[in-house]
């Protein structure tokens, strides 16, 4: 199955000129979702991953399934103020303003091997913040996996320059 065929494109969302890549159509197809989890997990089957870290919110959906497939734990990376215990925080810049990601301070124990997961990587700002946050917590980041990449926006290159191997299933060039 061609996963790209299961992703809906919505023009001019959330603002004019943006081509929004909606993976909810992929998630609601049991064959596409299963294939996504298997393909995203495959490169890491022999890496003895301790935890999969998923970025809020779609990274939770895919990350939890990948953690199950890899027989690993799951670490949620959330927006500031959503976690009830002691946290590590990492600020990052957005197109208009800034935001903060957090994880529980005890989510990573020692040099655990961690796979970072999210649905899409564009400029890489959120993923870069997640990498910095995981490193602050002591994680050994083995890789990052995304369903969709917009390579012209440079996010994958940003992570690779940070020493993170990246797996992507679908690319949309020039968009």
Which residues, in sequence order, are bridge partners of residue 21? 9
- Catalytic site residue 30? no
Cβ atoms of 161 and 135 within 8 Å: the answer is: no
**Looking at 39, 58, 135, 171, which residue is catalytic?**
58
Instruction: For helices 58-70 and 30-41, give the axis angle rounded to 10 degrees.
Output: 60
- Catalytic-role residue among 30, 31, 56, 95: 95
Residue 34's nearest CA partner among 23, 46, 26 is 26
Distance between CA atoms of 152 and 144, rounded to whole angstroms?
18
Q: Is 95 a catalytic residue?
A: yes
β-pair partners for 71: none
Query: What are the residue numbers of the active site?
Result: 58, 95
């Amino acid at each position: 199955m061609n996963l790209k065929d299961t992703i809906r494109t919505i023009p001019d969302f959330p603002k004019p000129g943006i081509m929004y890549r909606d993976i909810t159509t992929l998630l609601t197809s049991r064959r596409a979702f299963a294939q996504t989890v298997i393909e995203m997990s495959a490169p890491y089957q022999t890496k003895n991953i301790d935890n999969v870290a998923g970025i809020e919110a779609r990274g939770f959906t895919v990350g939890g399934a990948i953690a199950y497939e890899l027989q690993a734990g799951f670490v949620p990376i959330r927006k500031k103020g959503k976690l009830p215990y002691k946290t590590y925080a990492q600020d990052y810049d957005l197109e208009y303003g800034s935001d903060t990601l957090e994880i529980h301070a005890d989510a990573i124990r020692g040099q655990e091997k961690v796979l970072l997961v999210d649905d899409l990587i564009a400029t890489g700002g959120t993923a870069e913040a997640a990498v910095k946050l995981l490193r602050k917590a002591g994680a050994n980041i083995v890789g990052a996996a995304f369903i969709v990449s917009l390579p012209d926006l440079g996010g994958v290159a940003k992570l690779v320059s940070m020493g993170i191997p990246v797996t992507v299933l679908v690319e949309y060039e020039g968009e």
